[in-house]
Amino acid sequence: MAAAAIRRFFDGDIWYSFTRSPVTVVSAIVALVCVGGAVLAPLIAPHNPFDLASLQLMDAFKPPAWDAEGDPTYLLGTDDQGRDVLSAIMYGARVSLLVGFCAVILSVSLGVTAGLAAGYLGGTVDAVLMRIADIKLTFPTILIALLIDGVVRAALPRDVHDQIALYVVIFAIGISNWPQFARTVRGSTLVERNKEYVQAARVIGLSRSRIMVTHVLPNVLGPVLVIATLNLGFAVLAEATLSFLGVGVPPTQPSLGTLIRIGNDFLFSGEWWITIFPGVALIMLVLSVNLLGDWLRDALNPKLR
Amino acid sequence: MFAFIISRILQALPVMLTVALISFAMFAYVGDPVAIMLGQDYTEAQRQALIRELGLDQPFFVQFFNFVVNAAQGEFGLSYRLSRPVLDLIAERAPATLELALTAAALALLVGVPMGVYTGLYRNSWLSRFFLTFSLIGVSLPTFLIGILLILTFSVWLGWLPSFGRGDTVRLGWWTTGFLTTSGLKALILPSITLGLFQLTLIMRLVRAEMMEVLRTDYIKFARARGLANRAVHFGHALKNTLVPVITITGLQLGAIIAFAIVTETVFQWPGMGLLFIQSVGAADIPVMAAYLMLIAALFVVINLIVDLLYYAVDPRLRISGAKGAH
């Protein structure tokens, strides 16, 4: 059964279009390397940047290994506290990806629920939900996320805020991205609602919530997958921007954006590697995810086949 | 036309009131303004007097009404952080942000539209491919990284351009401008590229897609059949018909430009409203945050109105249906 499913996948259109696009194959490999490096960081990172005992200030500001003054144990150099930049990047990507995934999951659940309700129930529910989505769409995500963070910061004492900062960032990014999903799902729900299988379900007396969840929902999820992929890159960027501005994740758990912000202070004294390598890692991660999302959109779009 | 403007303003009112409610809720429920303004030593009588003076003993709706009336007059109270009127703080910094945002928007339009037309017309030339690859990078690069890379290249390594601040400014009444001095113009280059690059790539891709769509239509074929010069066909017929979506997106993107000005201003230490806002978020300075939020909302409403009016200027079909009152 499983073998047959795998066989069907490799014979199918999606795998075919995947192998035909070298850019996609390369970005899939890059994305795998990034995600793999992040997930396995505690196992494969050459140093533990958070183990204060192993940090030596003597090792601070070492340039990358290929530089004449570099140290081969620190492949991409060290930062102001002697932390290995490569290891910091791997641990940082963990935080970035964690925030990105959770934020997208939050946006998807909010957006799909709102879109299904708006599309299937119609009427006042639809008008109110879509009006909220419209208002939300006119305000840029970064601004909303900054405001949420600012309000939480004002409402809670500092140490409590640092503890929950990660969740605040996830919440801020997730909540500001749901309208996109809501609009897409609403659109497809409006189409599905009038199809015969939904009418049949209604005729045999199923409840509205049951029809929405078990009948309509599976048929509107296709486009959601594509938008979610493209949104992952976006959420990672939003997190990096917030952390760069100093209002994202706390400095005790540096993400890629935090690392870039820390390194930015040393740009003028010539230690460019502290900020540039996390930047390159961020670009590789986001670019590969975006390219995969682009490809997925085309591959799942029957009009382009 | 007049009725249309009035109806748009009426539609904008609930949005503004919602935003005002959020701002007011921030004022009323986040932190304790009385404790912040009194400082360390105070008596209970002083506390009560201040509460009465600020009107905090009034019912919720009276307080909200007072807030809206004050906000409409630009009165947002004192900044917790700097103990100065919020309006003064914002007015001081507004010119810097507006000059930066307008330069970035102009850059995006003046470079993005021609690039879009070119890539739409000559789809397979190597230059088009280069532009497209470049635009993909522009979309994937976060604003602050673009800024850092530009600073590293042009300020640290080459030493050509300043990396922070506005340079020398000239005072014209209450407005300060950097357009009139060499150092002001030089200081504007890197931040405006940083801010405009994303919009530039977006406009380019949009114009390209629209041009490719329009060039397939019958009226373009007919224009060619009439023997019109390529230039007249491309710019007089094709480009003109791509303008409606371009105007919409540009208008909506002006909002994004102002939001991302926060990031750009932080990277370049540009003394504008965005930097003020981010410093206020860090210090939980609620009055400044609330005022900035209201200001941005008002700006969005005005931008949307201008965009709608521009439709009329660009698309004659709307003028006809508008005259019939078919809205």
Q: For residue range B257-285, list pLDDT tens digits in order.
A: 877 788 888 888 888 888 888 888 777 77
pLDDT digits (tens, 9 = 90+) for B185-233: 778 888 888 888 888 888 888 888 888 888 788 888 888 888 777 777 7
Do residues B243 and B164 touch, judged by C-beta distance below 8 A?
no
Task: Please report residues of B whose CB lies closer than 8 A to that of A135.
Answer: 15, 18
Q: Which helix (H) or strand (E) holds A185?
A: helix A178-193
* pLDDT mean over B130-141: 78
Instruction: Please tell me the distance from the alpha carbon of residue A241 to that of residue A96, in angstroms, as a whole number.
Output: 11
Quote the Cα angle for B6-B101-B255, to 5°: 45
pLDDT of res. A20: 75
pLDDT of res. A109: 93
Q: Which residues contact residue B290 at a Cβ distance below 8 angstroms, ignoring those fewer than 6 apart?
A: B23, B24, B26, B27, B76
pLDDT digits (tens, 9 = 90+) for B80-133: 777 788 888 888 888 888 888 888 888 888 998 888 888 888 877 888 888 887
Q: Residue A119 is which amino acid?
A: G
pLDDT of res. A104: 93
pLDDT of res. B326: 39
Q: Which residues contact residue B193 at a Cβ distance below 8 angstroms, ignoring those fewer than 6 apart?
A: B104, B107, B146, B150
Partner residue opposite B151 with nearest CB, options A246, A267, A286: A267
Beta strands in B169-311 (DSSP E): 170-172, 175-177
Task: Please report residues of B whose CB lies closer than 8 A to that of A241.
Answer: 142-144, 263
Output the CA–CA distances (angstroms, integers) from residue B245 to A15, A111, B32, B106, B205, in the order listed. 35, 26, 46, 17, 12
Task: Retrieve residue A205's tokens.
Answer: 């007396």
Q: Is the ipTM of this complex over 0.90?
A: no
Task: Retrieve residue A138's tokens.
Answer: 């006119």
Please say if the pLDDT value at position B319 is more than 70. no
Task: Please report residues of A whose CB lies closer than 8 A to that of B284.
Answer: 150, 153-154
User: Of B107, B105, B133, whose CA–CA distance to B119 is shortest?
Assistant: B133
pLDDT of res. A105: 94
Contact B252 A138 (CB under 8 A): yes
pLDDT of res. B325: 42
Contact B139 A290 (CB under 8 A): yes
Tens-binned pLDDT, residue by residue, of chain A (305 aa):
566 766 766 667 777 777 777 777 888 888 888 888 777 777 776 777 776 666 666 666 667 666 666 666 666 677 767 677 787 888 888 888 889 999 999 999 999 999 988 888 888 888 888 878 877 776 777 778 787 877 777 777 767 777 778 888 888 888 888 888 888 888 888 888 888 888 888 888 888 888 888 888 888 887 888 888 888 888 888 888 888 887 777 777 788 888 888 877 777 776 777 788 888 888 888 888 888 887 877 777 655 44
Contact B31 A149 (CB under 8 A): no
Q: Tell me if chain A has a CB within 8 Å of the CB of B259.
A: yes
pLDDT of res. A103: 92
The nearest CA of chain A is from the CA of B40 a distance in Å of 17
Do residues A196 and A259 touch, judged by C-beta distance below 8 A?
no
Contact B281 A240 (CB under 8 A): no
pLDDT of res. A305: 46
Output the CA–CA distances (angstroms, integers) from residue A85 to A74, A78, A89, in the order listed. 8, 5, 6
Half-sphere CA count of A223, side-chain side, radius 13 A: 17
Q: Tell me if chain A has a CB within 8 Å of the CB of B148.
A: yes
Which of B36, B144, B150 best probes binding to A when mutated, by most A CB atoms within 10 angstroms? B144
Do residues A287 and A23 touch, judged by C-beta distance below 8 A?
no
Instruction: Please tell me the distance from the alpha carbon of residue B173 to that of residue B182, in angstroms, as a whole number.
Output: 20
The nearest CA of chain B is from the CA of A302 a distance in Å of 20
Contact B145 A279 (CB under 8 A): yes
SS3 (DSSP) at A12: coil
Do residues B204 and B115 touch, judged by C-beta distance below 8 A?
yes
